[in-house]
Amino acid sequence: MRVTMPSQFVEGAASGATSAVEQIDRAEEAHHHLNEAAHDLADRARPAIDRLVKSAENLAQRGIDGARDGSQHLRDRAARATDCTVNYIKDEPVKSMLIAAATGAALMALVALLNRSRQNA
């Protein structure tokens, strides 16, 4: 068994403490550098993120405008179709009634056929 002198013990403890302080200093310095690097990256990324956000906002606005224009176009077409239908009925009332009756009969036949196939399944 080795006997340690008090002075050796104190020297060893002091050396260990000095080493621990040096490691803590290096860790703090590394932490400081990492923190600076993270802030630098965030600062450099911010303009790109701002451009992406602006681009996304522009795309969304163009989509909204396109949907609005498309909706208006469909409303206009529906109004023209309604006007054409009303004018045709005014000009050809008998023919319009025959077309309506034939369409109704065809729809009823289709419904009956679908019901029959559903009941057989």
Over residues 82-107, the pLDDT tens digits come to 999 999 999 999 999 999 999 999 99
Of 109, 85, 111, residue with least CA distance to 99 = 85
* Amino acid occupying residue 60: A
Q: Which residue has the higher pLDDT, 118 or 59?
A: 59
Query: For all residues of the chain together, what is the average pLDDT?
Result: 88
Domain residue limits, the chain: 8-91
pLDDT mean over 60-83: 94
What is the distance between the alpha carbons of residues 5 and 3, in angstroms, rounded to a whole number? 6
- Residue 117 C-beta-side C-alpha neighbours within 13 Å: 6
Cα dihedral across residues 101, 106, 112, 114: positive or negative: negative
User: Where does the pLDDT of residue 2 fall: very low under 50, low under 70, confident under 90, or very high at 90 and above?
Assistant: low
Q: Which residue has the higher pLDDT, 15 or 104?
A: 104
What's the pLDDT score for residue 16? 81
pLDDT mean over 22-50: 89
What's the pLDDT score for residue 119? 82
pLDDT mean over 47-74: 93
Residue showing tokens 């490691």: 23
